[in-house]
Structure 1
Amino acid sequence: MSLARTLAAGAVAAALAVTVLPAAPAAAREDAPIAFATTVNGDPADVYAPAPSDIRADLPVALLLQGANVSRSAYADYARAVAGYGFVVVVPDHHRVIFGQSGLFAEEAQASWTVAWARDEDARAASPLKNRIDTGSLVLLGHSFGGAAALTLTTGACAPPFCGTPTAKPAELKGAALFGTTNTPPGGAGNPPVANTVPVALVQGTADGMAAPAAAEGTYDAIQAPPKMLVSVTGANHYGITDVQNPAGAAPDPSAQTVSQETSIKASARWSAMFLRTVLGDVWSGVWLWGVGDAVDPSVTVRYVR
């Protein structure tokens, strides 16, 4: 970073009284954040949201598309962290068969199913989220296979194996922040163009031994429409957003993580949430994202095009 940019970032930070990394706004509330089980188009799902005392209404919905054979329960800490920034985070378990193998495999159609769920939940009399959901705003979180499904959906394309049930990209989709995600084809021969129609951030562990950092760089370069961002989390591996390393049932990462799970989860959630809040129009999140965050957060390095 140039000296001029460093000084400018410092001035903005001082003006906004930003002296520490942003914390999830709901964390200091006296009552507990919301967490409950539901179903989305028949899939069991967990939901996380800010505490009932949080004054924010019209909470956008963030659908987390799971990695291959990674249970929804493995994302509890990450989902809670993102929810604390003002989202309703929905984490389904989606079972289907691909290439003759039955397992947990995300697909593009889950986005439209989640839009329908949000409308119903916002109107449900007994829901802790009644009249609090912004039913017109959907954003995507994704991990590995689920991130690839989300990335494909941002283009509006139906591409097997990520498109099990053909479906249109929902009009409510506003952006995506995806962890451990590349579009590198088998054999690693380049990255095809990503004709995204909504903003995309890639959050990538520098120690990822399954989705290589170089492949993430190539995917970032292939994303055609700004704003876009690549956030590299120092020392995180492929399971930097799961509650534990190498969750049961998932293929293990041969590369060890060199930072704590808490550090990688918080950093990944922070940057994902701030990117998504920015693309949803939150001005102060944008000030932090574009002008302050990379100057005050030592756990990441950042590239972006606005």
Structure 2
Amino acid sequence: MGLRRILRFALPAVLSAAFLTGAPGPARADGPVSTYTSTVSGDPADVYYPTGISERLPVALMLQGAQVGRAHYSAYARAVAAHGFIVVVPDHRRLLFFDNDYYPEQKQAADTVAWMKDENYRDGSPLEDLVKTTRLVLLGHSFGGATGLSIVGETCTFPFCTGLTYEMPTQVKGASFFGANNKSPLTGTFATIDLQVPTQLVQGVQDGVALPADAETTYTKMIHDPKQIVRVSGTNHYGITDTQNPAGADPEVGPQSLGQGQSIEIAARWAAKFLLAAMGDEAAADYVWNTGDAADPDVTVTGDN
């Protein structure tokens, strides 16, 4: 296996509401979403938010998969934003094992907290006085999900963290990660994850890169509730990117039988509702813990609340 493939898939495994236009009210999953470009601690970023936003919304930081550019998450980011979030998708490029490419790291959570405070008060910002600066949630894919697991476990884990210790920002209130686990490719072991916030794994049943069995074991290693694993049938490792095998990414070895738009909608819906529930939304909590599993024929859910 080449270095790029190890960095993309093995290390991540390791080391490992809003509003109708112009009027306040609950977010619509099919509502219009606006976007603009920004910069988060030097990283170019795309920002998605419900059109006609009229009150403060929480921010969701999307931690990209290794070597997957931010543009490949546009449909997923829009879908999550439509549920009532400001979704920020940075391109975080850094040198890792002689490879200068997109590799998320834990410090991005704190960088985003600083960004959302600045953006809320910046004259001319599309989000001026519209950011709920006390609420940050995490989204992540593959390497980005593995990075997120270290954030919510509040451990400094190489290659996601380069210091000796790590402290999660208090603004982080929940997390949802797609195609992620913390299996060590060197030892085959799974470290315990001492969850600091409600955390959800969303796993494609046909994922040939981040294997479903590894997500299941990771779930058992996540201590403290609430936690949840959502298994999406017919979906592989690239079930949340705009297209299969996005440019710059190593190809998936397993096919996806579910349509791309359908897998994106399902993953975004479950992530958004779980994160809303983590912040106290009772309707979202009823969906993710009580009614959603039976109502969605493409998922099976295990959860501890």
TM beyond 0.5: yes
- Which residue, out of 133, 137, 146, partners 1:148? 146
User: How do 1:27-46 residues align onto structure 2 when only pairs under 5 Å count?
Assistant: 27-28=30-31, 32-46=32-46
User: How do 1:91-240 residues align onto structure 2 when only pairs under 5 Å count?
Assistant: 91-164=89-162, 168-187=167-186, 189-240=188-239
Q: Give 1:101's aligned amino acid.
A: D
Q: Report how far residue 187 of structure 1 moved.
A: 4.7
Q: Give 1:145's aligned amino acid.
A: F
Counterparts of 1:26 and 1:250, CA distance in 2? 29
Q: Give 1:25's aligned amino acid.
A: R
Counterparts of 1:234 and 1:188, CA distance in 2? 29
- Tell me the secondary structure at the aligned position of residue 136 of structure 1: strand
Q: Give 1:100's aligned amino acid.
A: F
Q: Give 1:290's aligned amino acid.
A: W
- Tell me the secondary structure at the aligned position of residue 235 of structure 1: coil
1:17 aligned partner: none
Q: Give 1:69's aligned amino acid.
A: Q
Query: Does the C-alpha gap of structure 1 residues 24 and 301 become closer, same or farther in structure 2, counting only changes over 3 Å?
Result: farther
Query: Does the C-alpha gap of structure 1 residues 188 and 292 become closer, same or farther in structure 2, counting only changes over 3 Å?
Result: farther
Counterparts of 1:273 and 1:150, CA distance in 2? 16
> 1:170-220 CA distances to partner (integer Å, 9 max, x unpaired)?
110111100000001115623221111111100000000000000000001
> 1:87-146 CA distances to partner (integer Å, 9 max, x unpaired)?
000000001111221110000000000000000111112111111111001100000000
Counterparts of 2:59 and 2:187, CA distance in 1? 34
- Tell me the secondary structure at the aligned position of residue 232 of structure 1: strand
The answer to whether the Cα contact below 8 Å between 1:26 and 1:51 also exists between their aligned partners in 2 is no
Counterparts of 1:156 and 1:26, CA distance in 2? 32
Query: Does the C-alpha gap of structure 1 residues 80 and 132 become closer, same or farther in structure 2, counting only changes over 3 Å?
Result: same
Counterparts of 2:225 and 2:80, CA distance in 1? 23
1:19 aligned partner: none
Q: Report how far residue 164 of structure 1 moved.
A: 3.9
The answer to whether the Cα contact below 8 Å between 1:58 and 1:134 also exists between their aligned partners in 2 is yes
Q: Give 2:180's aligned amino acid.
A: T
Counterparts of 1:155 and 1:217, CA distance in 2? 17
Counterparts of 2:239 and 2:114, CA distance in 1? 30
Q: Does 1:25 align with 2:28?
A: yes
Moved over 3 A (4+): 164-167
Identity %: 48
RMSD, matched Cα: 1.5
The answer to whether the Cα contact below 8 Å between 1:26 and 1:50 also exists between their aligned partners in 2 is no
1:278 aligned partner: 277
Query: Does the C-alpha gap of structure 1 residues 116 and 242 become closer, same or farther in structure 2, counting only changes over 3 Å?
Result: same
Query: Does the C-alpha gap of structure 1 residues 115 and 191 become closer, same or farther in structure 2, counting only changes over 3 Å?
Result: same
Query: Does the C-alpha gap of structure 1 residues 240 and 26 become closer, same or farther in structure 2, counting only changes over 3 Å?
Result: closer
Counterparts of 2:283 and 2:48, CA distance in 1? 23
2:8 aligned partner: none
1:302 aligned partner: 301
- Which residue, out of 60, 63, 66, partners 1:65? 63
